[in-house]
Amino acid sequence: MTQGKVYLVGAGPGDPGLITAKGIECLKRADVIVYDRLIDNGLLDFTRHDAEVIYVGKSSKTHAREQHEINQILVDKAREGKVVVRLKGGDPFVLGRGGEEAEALFANKIPFELVPGISSALAVPAYAGIPVTHRRVASSFAVTTGHEDPTKDISSINWEKLATGVDTLVCLMGMGNLARIVEALLKSGKAPNTPVAVIRQGTTLQQQTLTGTLATIVEAAERADFQPPVVIVIGEVVGLRQRLAWFDNRPLFGKRVLVTRSRNQASVLSRLLGECGAEPVELPVIEIEDVPDSGELDKAILGLPDYHWVLFTSANGVDAFWRRLRALNLDARWFRHVRIGAIGPATAEALVVRGLYPDLLPEEHTSEGIVAGLAAIGIDGIRILLLRSDIAPKALINKLIELGAEPHEVTAYLTRPPAESISRAKQMFLDGKIDIITFTSSSTVTNLLAALGNELHAAKQAKIACIGPITAATAEKAGLTVDIIAREHTIPGLVAAIELYLREHEGEV
């Protein structure tokens, strides 16, 4: 049997974006992933669907597996000829017992490779706005554990030298021993007014930072009921946080925002929310499907030269139309005799990347906007092909008829609720874990409410943010109070509207 190999991979301290590119490549290749408690579950999305995933997390009170068991798992899986990733928080060789695991592999003649990670000793203070060194404040730093091996007879930490020999001291895993650490430093000559920061769940959207001095921090931490995991920073650099804090000062920091778009559309909204400090919770309430019988759509595509205008109301419509266009061995040249209208920049962009530039893109990204644009041109007797969802409201087509046009509506794609997200959605609401719900179309409203059933009151606990007035009207008709309506009916516009609302209603959400 071919010998396997183990990769000891540092995942970074919590923010999944801090893992290295090489670490991601290892995850993609692995047959087996053995991972720790503080690993962001989003990293597991990079693994193969057939990979074996083994949880071996530890906390101060419970261990899923003891260290000797973890060592044996790595050895056994490698002996089966498998590529194994041991995914560890921070850096494997910085107070992470990676050295012990490497020794066990060496002793059993198992090939291994180390993929370093960003240590929490550096990243967590940085995310709290605390540089461990600064030219005017600190020229040295040291990292120590706050939780030594309990089998040791004598501590190997020389607190006296640490207290006077370095400018900045970073303690990992020290929450349970905070009082002892402070006492040891004070006895060793550290000044009582030395600044201290205790940072909980650093680099995540649950990050909390408590500051004080050696004289006050223990009482402050007890009063705030600070719990692990924490990183403790001791030194004058802590004072720089007042000016350099950036991560937890972002406008949406710590808010849980429900993203109700389809799976393939959620990423842009989630990314923008994350950049503003929010925690996006992706619970797709719609799935986009192709029509089961493409006959009518194909007929409309083949008859495109007979129309004067073709209107696209969503990027989904563009995608569905284009798939059938290619299936019919046609391309962008087929549009040469027809003018194109699009509602909103996302729809326009879906056309532009295919070499098609809309002739009409209204400033108001709504059905009313495109109707007004067409009315200004004059569309009496004009044949218009309208590509839409199977559940699109009829207001647009009725307005076109009133203007004397001859619209032909064709279903380009289907909108369906994904059954598997229903129970998760309900539980999130019932647990009160959602601060803001975003709706990006009327269908996201109706499908989420259908998923909630009789639990509509649960949705009312959160603030409601809608991409535009039509979506807002659907939500209000369903009995929801809409708090936020985007002025610009786009995804960036929706995020900007949420930011503005939180600024104007600080402390209410």
* Residue of 5, 15, 31, 36 with catalytic role: 36
Tokens of 309: 């205008």
Query: Do residues 66 and 101 make contact, with C-beta atoms less than 8 angstroms apart?
Result: no
Beta-sheet strand order (sheet of 168-172): 141-145, 168-172, 230-234, 195-200, 208-213
CA distance 474 to 441: 9
Residue 58 designated active-site: yes
Residues in the chain: 509
* Residue of 173, 175, 190, 399 with catalytic role: 173
User: Which residue blocks in 276-390 are alpha helix, DSSP H?
Assistant: 295-302, 315-327, 345-352, 367-377
What is the sign of the dihedral through the CA atoms of 73, 79, 85 and 88? positive
Crossing angle, helix 315-327 and helix 345-352, to 10 degrees?
A: 20
Q: Angle at CA 367, nearest 5°, toward 361 and 373? A: 45
73 phi, psi to nearest 5 deg: -60, -45
CA distance 159 to 24: 38
Provide the pairing of β-strand 406-416 with 463-466.
Answer: unpaired
Q: Which residues contact 309 (CB under 8 A, 6 or more apart)?
A: 338, 339, 340, 341, 374, 379, 382, 383, 384, 385
Beta strands, E only, 260-314: 279-282, 287-290, 309-312
Query: Do residues 490 and 346 make contact, with C-beta atoms less than 8 angstroms apart?
Result: yes
The letter for the amino acid at 130 is I
CA distance 72 to 100: 12
Query: Do residues 297 and 321 make contact, with C-beta atoms less than 8 angstroms apart?
Result: yes
Residue 483 designated active-site: no
Q: Which residues pair with 145 in a beta bridge?
A: 172
CA distance 498 to 463: 10
Tokens of 249: 């000062």
Maximum Cα interatomic distance, the chain, rounded to a whole number of Å: 93
Q: Which residues contact 493 (CB under 8 A, 6 or more apart)?
A: 467, 486, 487
Helix or strand holding residue 230 (H, E): strand 230-234
* Residue of 58, 76, 167, 319 with catalytic role: 58
Residue 28 designated active-site: no
Catalytic residues: 36, 58, 173
